[in-house]
Amino acid sequence: MTEPILKVNSVTKCFGGLTAVDDVSFSVEKGEIVGLIGPNGAGKTTLFNVISGYYAPTKGSVVFQGNDISGKPPYHLAGVGIGRTFQVVKPFAGLTVLENVTIASFLKHPKKADAERHAWQVLETTGLADRAHLSAAGLTLAGRKRLEISKALALDPSFLLLDEVVAGLNPTEADRTVELIMKLKAQGLTILIVEHIMRVIMNISDRLVVLNFGKKIAEGTPAEVSSDPHVVQAYFGEEAA
Amino acid sequence: MKTSRGAAILAIITAALLILPLVVHDTFVLRVLTEGIMWIGLAIAFDVIAGYTGYLNFGHGAFFGIGAYTIGILMMQAHLPFWVALPLGGVAAALTALIAGIPTLRLKGAYFAIATWALSRAIQQLALNVEFTGGPDGMRLEAFLNPLFFYYLMLITVGAIFLVLWYLLERAPFGLKLKAIREDEEGAKALGLNPTMLKMQSFILSAIPTGILGGIYAYWITFIDPSSTLGDLVSDQAVVMVVFGGMGTLFGPALGAILIFAFKTIFWAYLSDFQLLYLIILGALIAISVIFIPNGLWGTLVKRKAVARPQEKPEPASEPAALSAVAVPEEGN
Amino acid sequence: MMELLPQALTDGILLGGIYITIAIAFSLTYGVMHVIDFAVGEWIMFGAFTGYYLNKWTGLDPFIFLPVIFVIYFGVGYLVQPVIHRVLSGTKGNPFLMGLVFTFGLAIMFRGLALTAFGFYSNSIPSAFSEGSFNLDSIGLTVTIPTVRLMGLAYAVAITLILHYLLKKTNFGLGVRALAQHKDAAGLMGVNAKRTGSYVYGIYVGISAMTGVLLGCILSIGAQMGNEYTIFAFFVVVLAGMGYLAGVPWAALLLGLVQSIFMIYFNPSHTLLAVFVILYIILLISPRGLFGKGV
Ligand SMILES: Nc1ncnc2c1ncn2[C@@H]1O[C@H](COP(=O)(O)OP(=O)(O)O)[C@@H](O)[C@H]1O
Ligand SMILES: [Mg+2]
């Protein structure tokens, strides 16, 4: 078997006295979609922030394509192929949609004309091309989530971190985003995704990692995980209740 | 099409400014024009860091004064020719920006505003208290009294500054990257941008032309002292011009510079006994601009449409067929 | 020169004590409104001149009408704050930048107004306490403490205690602290951000003005004094760590010491330079203040 693209080795992240991520280990193989699930406050976003370089792990390490990247700044990680979205979307509000995506395209296309052309291609893939010249501040929530994905994709990443890109969308919009994710997988992208909506995460993930209070409590295929008693209690139990 | 019209207007203005001295021989007018052009340069340079990058430098005047003093000292004490000293004025300003930027540009904007303002006050104190600047008495430069020379030198320098900044900020990727920093520094990091590095480049880019203009000013006016070149008026006027004219563009600050400088000239010509009133008006104008035209004159009048277009329904779908496979246009919600 | 040291230290502590009042109020305002007030020195200057003229007209001791000055300037601040609030909650442009620019514009305007009204000369405010002084010869120290400085310290302690009480023991204080920590959550808790902001800004302007009167009695007043005190206020909050109130007293005392040491041992006009150099070094090695607790 080949080397996993991402290895999370006993990562712990503390904020003062609070341990948001507690000794979590797992790995992601090339071409997989791995779902990261867990109740609110379980530490999913924090783990994303560690992987994408926003926080240095308090303990443990993150290995990407064989290199230890723990503590490396986010702009460095974007350069080695890690793209991410933000749960709390971060559009450049004063700029147009096209400009937003062009900025991300500069990473691989230093010339402005090339970057713009590339940004158009991305916008066409994500379905925002018709709004390219609008101010990013004027987009609906669905539009902003899509813009998040567009910006991450414009980096031409090999590994994508998606933080709740479906939550908050209506069913039609959600289906379109799921379609988009499946298409990206078909193109060979490796994806780690956080999502609350079970219908979505169970369908698209090859494997799931479950967090609760910062700890990994289960890992496996959607079928294995959904029959795991710990998970049922910690997570589905809560939903069912 | 719009840009080409803009370019045509600019070309006409430039041509007019180039031939103007052939028609107008009044030295007062020439002097006013020279200084007015200088202020355009100072305002657009200020806007690189303030408007494009979103970091307020309340001590912009320090770069101007440092340029002026560098040229003064190099010419009078090291006996360097003007053309050798002038670029070094830009270098001195760049070094100051580097030194001031290292501790502050990693931090939030409030620190930067405080530190740059405090730095400019400290540099003025320094100039007042050391020997080689002439202290409070200032410094007299070798007189080269050729108004026409300085008019053209200023015009060409500011023209060059404008073109370089226009290329870097409006044409090259650099300008968009700065705007990304301005809009969301954390988000920009995820896209491969190093904010500290970009801010530093922006700050230096803002400092160099300012230092050079200070150098030209010193040689032109032939006398510099801590209150004229390092006082707060230079910074204060730069802030007014840019805020009133419109931040984050090149034309806004230029417009602001022209209007404010014209006002100042008329005011000081007719009401020279009330120079303090000018200070009050400057302050009031800043406050009023902020409240009523936060996008400045340019942003309010010219670019109004582009700024915050409310988005209700998607524009008519004129999308290429290629994307319909995945992307169904969202219905308005 | 060593025999001057006790005097320098005493002066510094007494002066620093007074700075604590301004710095706490200034830091509090930053915590609640998230904007740096560039006009802080000008509020101090206005207060000082109001004290100067009230004293001239009534002949009463400036210490007597400190409460009057507080009330006047509390009112002024209370009325100015909604404008700042409006700028900060604007949707056009960048509200944070605009807030900074706005207070910067206010400072310029105030300076112009003061220079127009009061001219360029400097003065001091006479007080009955200005003459007397205490001598510590009896305990073997060559230290003279002017009564007015001692009164200044008493004032500073009183103000600090009142602020401490307000913040820690009242509902108002709870709201202020909630606002300083979590802007959004505070709103959910029913804290009226606008009203609380107005009170805090009013208190800050009132305290700055009162302290201006004291500084006018102890040192001097002039229409251009604002600049210096604005730098001092910045120095204290950056040294303390922005928004970290507990660091403020120490930073203020340090400022008082730097100032008095420069007055006695070096050239007083180098004080500002020294203050800047310290500020620079702190920003370089510990940008979150002496205690690393700033935001
Ligand atoms: N910057 C931070 N500072 C302090 N605590 C934080 C910070 N970010 C997250 N937390 C805390 O860490 C825990 C995990 O949060 P998060 O990773 O956002 O959870 P999830 O994304 O799974 O909902 C929560 O208790 C949250 O309050
Ligand atoms: Mg989350």
- Residue B313: predicted pLDDT: 35
Domain membership flag for residue B78 = yes
Q: Give the number of other Cβ atoms within 10 Å of residue B11's Cβ.
A: 10
Ligand 1 atom with minimal separation from the A163 CA: 21
Domain membership flag for residue B315 = no
Domain membership flag for residue B3 = no
- Is A104 close to B179, i.e. CB distance below 8 A? no
Residues lower than pLDDT 50 in chain B: 1, 306-333
CATH number of the structural domain spanning residue B36: 1.10.3470
Per 3-state DSSP, what percentage of chain A is helix, strand, and coil (rounded to 5)? 40, 25, 35
- Residue B331: predicted pLDDT: 36
Q: Quick one: pLDDT band at residue C121, thresholds 50, 70, 90?
A: confident
- The complex's ipTM works out to 0.91
Cα end-to-end span (Å), chain B? 35
Reading the block at residue C206, the tokens are 């009132």
Q: Is the pLDDT of residue C43 over 90?
A: yes
Report how far residue C45's alpha carbon sits from residue C28's, in angstroms, rounded to the nearest whole number.
Answer: 20
8 Å CB contact between C87 and C106: no
Reading the block at residue A187, the tokens are 């193109």
- Determine which residue's CA is closest to atom 9 belonging to ligand 1: A46
Query: pTM of this prediction?
Result: 0.90
Report how far residue B252's alpha carbon sits from residue B46's, in angstroms, rounded to the nearest whole number.
Answer: 12
Boundaries of domain holding B152: 27-308
Q: Quick one: pLDDT band at residue C140, thresholds 50, 70, 90?
A: low
Tens of pLDDT, residue by residue over A135-194, are 998 899 999 999 999 999 999 999 999 999 998 888 888 999 999 999 999 999 999 999
Domain membership flag for residue B19 = no
What residue ranges do the domains of chain A occupy? 6-236
* Number of folded domains that form chain B: 1
**Which of B189, B326, B330 is closest, CB to CB, to A75?**
B189
- C-alpha B196 to ligand 1 mean position (Å): 26
- 132-171 in chain A: CB under 8 A from chain B: 134-135, 137-140, 142-143, 151-152, 154-155, 170
pLDDT tens for chain A, 241 residues: list them.
578 999 999 999 999 889 999 999 999 999 999 999 998 899 999 999 999 999 999 999 999 999 999 999 999 999 999 999 999 998 999 899 999 999 999 999 999 999 999 999 999 999 999 999 999 988 999 999 999 999 999 999 999 999 999 988 888 889 999 999 999 999 999 999 999 888 888 889 999 999 999 999 989 998 888 888 877 777 655 554 3
Q: Give the number of other Cβ atoms within 10 Å of residue C137's Cβ.
A: 10
**What topology does CATH give the domain A6-236?**
Rossmann fold (3.40.50)
- Residue C14: predicted pLDDT: 84
Beta bridge partners of residue C145, listed in sequence order: C134
User: Across all residues in chain A, what is the average pLDDT?
Assistant: 91
| Total beta-carbon pairs less than 8 A apart between chain A and chain B | 143
Domain membership flag for residue B289 = yes
- Residue B141: predicted pLDDT: 87
Nearest Cα neighbor of C200 from C18, C4, C9, C35 is: C35
**What topology does CATH give the domain C2-285?**
ABC transporter involved in vitamin B12 uptake, BtuC (1.10.3470)
Question: Which of chain B's residues have a Cβ under 8 Å away from the Cβ of A90?
Answer: 184, 186-187, 190
Q: Is the CB of A43 under 6 A from ligand 1?
A: yes
Domain membership flag for residue B67 = yes
Report how far residue B129's alpha carbon sits from residue B131's, in angstroms, rounded to the nearest whole number.
Answer: 7
- Is A135 close to B307, i.e. CB distance below 8 A? yes
- C-alpha B282 to ligand 2 mean position (Å): 47
Nearest Cα neighbor of B16 from B186, B155, B208, B175 is: B155
Question: Which of chain B's residues have a Cβ under 8 Å away from the Cβ of C280?
Answer: 103, 115
- Residue B326: predicted pLDDT: 35
Domain membership flag for residue B164 = yes
